[in-house]
Amino acid sequence: MILPTKHIPQHEALLGVGATTLAHLREPITVSGLWERLRSEPNVGTFERFVLALNLLYLIGAIDIEHGLLVRVAA
């Protein structure tokens, strides 16, 4: 579910959802604001998958929370 496999395409794996999320995270934004942007994306699907992707991105250090807003971490 996190990584693509033979049965789970890349766009449906959490890594693919995370990539879509990062593409839409251009400036600091609230979780609900980002969800409003992404809710119509077919590969994001449900709010549960969206939150799991956010958790994955936070764990790998790709995003952080500053003053209640999600921000991309500079590489």
Q: What pLDDT digit, counting tens, does each position of 22-56 carry?
A: 999 999 999 999 999 999 998 898 999 999 999 99
Q: Model pTM?
A: 0.89
User: Residue 1 above 80 pLDDT?
Assistant: no
Q: Report the Cα 62 to chain-centroid distance in Å.
A: 10
What is the 8-class DSSP label of residue 74? P
Beta bridge partners of 65: 70
What domains, with CATH codes, occur in the chain?
14-72 (1.10.10)
Tokens of 26: 């251009």
Neighbours of 49 (CB within 10 A): 16
> What average pLDDT does the chain have?
91
CA distance 69 to 43: 23
Distance CA 14, CA 75 (A): 20
